[in-house]
Amino acid sequence: MKKLFLALGVVSFLLFACNSHRNDKTIHFSGTMKNDSIYIVDLDIEEESAPILFSSIFDKVETIILETRKEALVTQHFEFMAFDNYFFILNDQDPKDFLIFDRKGKFIRKIGGIGQGPGEYVRVFDFTIDPVNKVIFLNCDLVINKYYMDGTFIGSIDKAENSMQIQFHNGKLYLEGRDAYLIIEVDPETGKKTGQYLDAHLYNKGFIEPRFSYGGNPFKHRFTESPKFANSFMDTIMAIQQNGIMPFLAITSKYLTTNADIDATKGLEPNERIERIKNKNKIFCMNFYFETKNHISFSYMHGKNHISIVYDLVTKTYKKSSLLNDLVFDGKVKMQNILYSDSNGVYESFHESIFLEFIYRQIQSGRLAPNLDKREELMKLPEDTNPVIFYYSYN
């Protein structure tokens, strides 16, 4: 087990990399992290430790079975957010519907739709919510559509950049950059660019692939005081704060992907570039990130292997360890798919066909935890059901 430590050299470099651009009007970082430090993880030191049980991190689990209706079908891949006692789901596959359910799983309404009229869209990629004004921003192909919670269309703003992912925080709207910078800040009223952050060559090894994302949405731990951002080849998880975008957690290893590794794949198709990096046994893609009051967890790719890191913020230690879900299953079953985390808890989904087949096998073999709520309902689910979501909370 490795102690959390402040690596002054790494921290100094990261802060210098941010602050060295302060006089550039297009790149501005200000403020400091809490305690003026970031977490550093040396991935070469730790051997994998014994698995960690969900019950040692979370206090309880709640089962949500989304209502299955023809007009509210959820595809295998979707974006998810929880807010104001509702679940918001954007289908990543056709039909690309934007759906709202209540916390009991009842379908409430659909917002927008395919078309070219007001409030409609041809393609849609991501969404975010202004929690103060309760406005939904739907990131469409050419514009960003804005709606109230009841589905009323407010209007559209032009996109400052042809981006796919979007994040609202503290009155500002952030887009995932698809060119020289990884984050673009825009005015949520006009769509005008107001800032750009994180040089792609410095922070993402120069990997720039428009319309391609590996490892899911780079905006993580959304709807919190400090959302996080990590793109495919970043070695640092960044915190989006009121006073700037600053380093939060960095990994070190002799196996980290380098700019030279990325340069050697130029000219290939995006998926082939990823496979070349995997075949070189390189480390990249920090993903499945979540925070609780006492823990931070994320996974990363080392070659073709997923490896998990778990921090214990009480003991100030971290280790490589699998997470075993003993709250849902009567036995030790590895975590399947962390969907989303916010300040209140963590959501896991069993929605892709492979995961649904998995949970059916667990049900048929009687491996659901005996005290799991809605256990009997789960055991009677049809195969064409909408996703099952599990919500893990902590005191």
101-134 pLDDT, tens digit each: 999 999 999 999 888 899 999 889 999 999 999 9
First to last CA, the chain: 25
Contacts of 309 (CB under 8 A, 6+ apart): 41, 43, 297, 298, 299, 300, 318, 319, 320, 321
- Nearest residue to 12 via CA among 45, 43, 38: 38
Structure tokens at 368: 């659901």
Relative to beta strand 345-350, strand 388-393 is antiparallel
Contacts of 130 (CB under 8 A, 6+ apart): 136, 137, 168, 188
**Does residue 228 sit in helix, strand or coil?**
strand
Each residue's pLDDT tens digit, 295-328: 999 999 999 999 999 989 998 889 999 899 999 9
Exposure string for 52-67, b = 16+ CB within 10 A, e = fewer: bebeebbeebebbbbe
**Is this prediction's pTM over 0.85?**
yes
pLDDT at 223 over 50: yes
Specify the range with the lowest mean pLDDT, choosing from 159-173, 196-210, 337-351. Answer: 337-351
- Nearest residue to 84 via CA among 126, 124, 132: 132
State how far the Cα of 48 lies from the Cα of 320, in Å rounded to an integer: 5
Specify the range with the lowest mean pLDDT, choosing from 35-44, 220-229, 292-301. Answer: 35-44
